[in-house]
Structure 1
């Protein structure tokens, strides 16, 4: 199990006793199919909803755990509309349309389970009336719109190689006058270039990079074994190929991983960092990698570039040479619908290819 899943499962176990019994039953029902991370988000969404019900006087419970099925069963559609308005208009922590859609979807899942699947001792549904069935949740993510937002904000063609080269050499020249920044650069440049190169040559997510262990790497076959997002089989790691271009950076980094970072033998993490004042290194965090990429991106002249946009950069480049199904598998997408983004991103390239064919 990945480090994130282990952490989220512990958080889930702590939060569940604060939920009504029927929510605990729903989470148990979903546990074999959904990751602890997804279920933790569900519970957080229910915390928000039950807290709002109590604040509005729609539940007489003193705590969230005391909210009853009858109180959910007798909710009016006006109340659901009011909750949606609350999510979108509250002054603090205003939610985006995507977040609101996700929170309502979580509620729909719970209400569907209670009204269509769960039964009482007399074989009747736990919830006799499902107000959430009336709620229409519009699709927010459209591949074409997502592609439009990404255009001009990812690396294209030769830029993929240029960015890795910049991390290895160019950044050092740019910060030569800053002793502290230059020292940190010299210490970490091989590791940082290796991380960027690996994402740009495999399309791994940052969470997958963080969870990589040394034993997950098969250099000879250009393979990595990773826990993929949404995969609940905790005994299985998915084999993911990386391009030859990443091999040199991996070999260079591995040759100094122990000596430069004083990495203890017990540390299994592939990518490590040595905190200030610490005698030994430990696994790099997701946040550290995100900050690191942004630092280089700004100096490179791509201020919008992030770790996730490195993944988009790889995917766009990969899609140009492969079909949508291979791209889906390489990226670990649940469906080709998500992968359609890259079809839209490459529209210009495809249209240019058609024109060249016509001219010839």
Structure 2
């Protein structure tokens, strides 16, 4: 099990006892099919909804665990509408349309299970009336819309190489007068360039980068074995190739990994950091990698660039030279519908193609 999944499973086990018995039953039913990370999001969504029910007087419970099935069964459409308004208009923590859609989908999954799958001792559904069946959850991520939002916010063409080069050398000039920043940069620049180059030449997710171990890397074959999102077989890792361009940065980093970060032999992580005040290196966190990319991106003149947009940058470049099915496999998408984003991002090739003329 990956590092992130282990952490999320621990949090899930910690939170589950505070939920009503029927939610625990639902989570256990879904556990073989969904990752702990997904189920943890479900629990957080149920905390939000149950907390709102208590505040609004739709439940007599004083905590989540006391919520009753009958209270869910007697909810009206007006209540769901008010909850949606609560999520979108509250002063603190206002949710985006995508987040609201996800929260409602979480509720639909629970209510569907209770009304269509789970049974009581007399073989009747646990929930006789499913109000969420009336709620339409619209798909928010249309590939063309997502592509439009990404325009100008990813790296294109020569920028992919330029950004890695900037991390290796160019950033030094921008922090030349800041001794503390300069010290940190000189310590980590080869590692940071390696991580960036690897993502830009393979399309890995940040969680996949964090979970990489030394043993997962086959430098000669330009291959990594990755725990992919949605794969619930913890013993299986997907082979993912990376481009030749990343090989030099990886080799340079590997030569420094043990000595520069004082990495102990027992540390299996490929990418490590040595936090302030600590004597030895340990696995980098997702947050550290995200902050690292944003730091360089801002100074590079691409303030909207994030780790995930590095993945988009690779995918757009890769799609230009391959078909949608190869792109889907490389990125680990569940369906080509998600991969269609890159078809829209590369529409410029269609406009260029129509202008080309050949003499007959």
Query: Same fold by TM-score, threshold 0.5 exceeded?
Result: yes
Partner of 1:327: 327
Partner of 2:143: 143
Q: Across the two proteins, how many residue pairs are aligned to each other?
A: 360
Q: What does 1:173-192 align with in structure 2 at a 5 Å threshold? A: 173-192=173-192
Cα RMSD (Å): 1.2
- Cα deviation for residue 355 of structure 1 reads 1.9
Cα distance in 2 for residues equivalent to 1:359 and 1:52:
69
Give the TM-score taking structure 2 as reference length: 0.98
Cα distance in 2 for residues equivalent to 1:200 and 1:109:
36
Cα distance in 2 for residues equivalent to 1:295 and 1:194:
16
- Cα deviation for residue 175 of structure 1 reads 2.1
Give the TM-score taking structure 1 as reference length: 0.98
Unpaired segments of 5 or more residues in structure 2?
none
Partner of 2:346: 346
Cα distance in 2 for residues equivalent to 1:122 and 1:43:
28
- Cα deviation for residue 259 of structure 1 reads 1.0
Cα distance in 1 for residues equivalent to 2:84 and 2:299:
41
- Cα deviation for residue 303 of structure 1 reads 1.4
Partner of 2:301: 301
Greater displacement, 338-347 / 51-60 = 51-60
Cα distance in 2 for residues equivalent to 1:185 and 1:14:
38
- Cα deviation for residue 237 of structure 1 reads 1.0
User: Kindly tell me: are residues 253 and 129 of structure 1, through their superposed partners in 2, closer, same or farther at Cα, counting changes over 3 Å?
Assistant: same
Partner of 2:258: 258
Partner of 1:69: 69
Partner of 1:154: 154
Partner of 1:21: 21
SS in 2 for 1:299: helix
SS in 2 for 1:316: helix
Partner of 2:127: 127
Cα distance in 1 for residues equivalent to 2:357 and 2:49:
57
Partner of 1:207: 207
Cα distance in 1 for residues equivalent to 2:283 and 2:191:
12
SS in 1 for 2:121: coil
Deviation string 1:265-312 (CA, Å, 9 cap, x unpaired) is 111111111111211111111111111111111221111111111100
- Cα deviation for residue 203 of structure 1 reads 0.2
SS in 2 for 1:240: strand
Cα distance in 2 for residues equivalent to 1:36 and 1:357:
54
Does 2:265 match 1:269? no
Cα distance in 2 for residues equivalent to 1:202 and 1:43:
33
Cα distance in 1 for residues equivalent to 2:179 and 2:12:
45
Unpaired segments of 5 or more residues in structure 1?
none
Does 2:29 match 1:43? no
- Cα deviation for residue 178 of structure 1 reads 2.4
Greater displacement, 50-59 / 174-183 = 174-183
